[in-house]
Amino acid sequence: MADPRVKKLASILVNHSLGVKKGDKVLITASSELAKPLVLEVYREVMKKGGEPLLNIGFEETAEIYYKNATDAQLKSFPKIAAYQAKNIDCVVNIRASVNKKALSNVDPTRLAMRSKVMSPISNIIVNTKRWILCNYPTNALAQEADMSLEEYEKFLFGATNIDWNKVKKEELKLQKALDKASVVHIKGKDTDLTLGIKGRKSIPCYGNYNMPDGEVFMSPIENSAEGHIFYEMPAIYQGREVTGVRLRFKAGKVVEASADKNEKFLITMLDTDKGARFLGELGVGVNYGIKKFTSDILFDEKIGGTVHLAVGRSYEEAGGKNKSAIHWDMIKDLRKGGTLSLDGKVIQKNGKFCL
């Protein structure tokens, strides 16, 4: 008998997040076979709604095999079948069930960047034109990364996902209203003094319609507006690599100086992926105060109440963003100890607490 928590999550994903309706072609992807319980319940829910489910279940180990054996020609080969699939589906449920989050740690980052460039058109199709939802399924690897037992992680995950998302929506709309009226965002905190232009850009409240769990309001800053510097207390994780002590300095929107205490070479390599990789694609404000602990998983960590996250690389067209890049790398700034978030000179958050 299926875990009732899994059944409830599947119902939320299919009905609340995607709003699957009769005739929808729904791609259900999973990074490993460990996601089977949730895959089956999502499949069942899609069928009940009259949709047409299509499965894409992977083996996480294949990524390591691919990058260690692929020739440059294979890395640069565009997957036409995957592109056709992306164009012809209506929805995507992407379930991450990691076996080993460090599987790609020793892969040459230039090879990862090369493949990211090739795959970016497909990512853009899905992100910008399809209904999609990303979520985790509890595994030992994810629990270990979060310094929890599997049972503790299960409670943590389902406690963050199986909630009243309509109630969350009402709270986020207040922040959205303030952001949409503003012209300049000012972020201050430890080793941080950064301004961003947002006039005319649209902020988007997130209440379970793209990520699960959710709890953020995001927007794409004006591309040439970032001025100042920022320090990220929390590790910045991308493609299985952990980069700590990241410091970035911006001028006219572009990262002109970058350093890190650990894996600095990887940071620089990713920033040099393409012309857009040194510009900001996103500013997100975390409002999920039920998530308090850093877990080394951006799906949860970027939602932590009292934090902001800024992503270098690809921006969001629906938010008015114009930056193009093969990468989108979220980095989290903690404002809960001495930090402030201001709009047009007015502080709206201090020490992680809103004062709207």
Domains of the chain, first to last: 4-161 (3.40.1830.10), 165-354 (no CATH)
- For residue 170, what pLDDT is reported? 86
pLDDT band, residue 222 (cuts 50/70/90):
very high
Dihedral sign for Cα atoms in the order 223, 229, 231, 236? positive
**What pTM was computed for the model?**
0.77
Digit-coded pLDDT (tens) for 300-309: 999 999 999 9
- For residue 210, what pLDDT is reported? 86
- For residue 108, what pLDDT is reported? 86
Digit-coded pLDDT (tens) for 113-135: 889 889 999 988 998 899 999 99
pLDDT band, residue 291 (cuts 50/70/90):
confident
- For residue 167, what pLDDT is reported? 83
Higher pLDDT, 2 or 188: 188
- For residue 273, what pLDDT is reported? 93
In the chain, the percentage of residues whose pLDDT exceeds 70 is 100
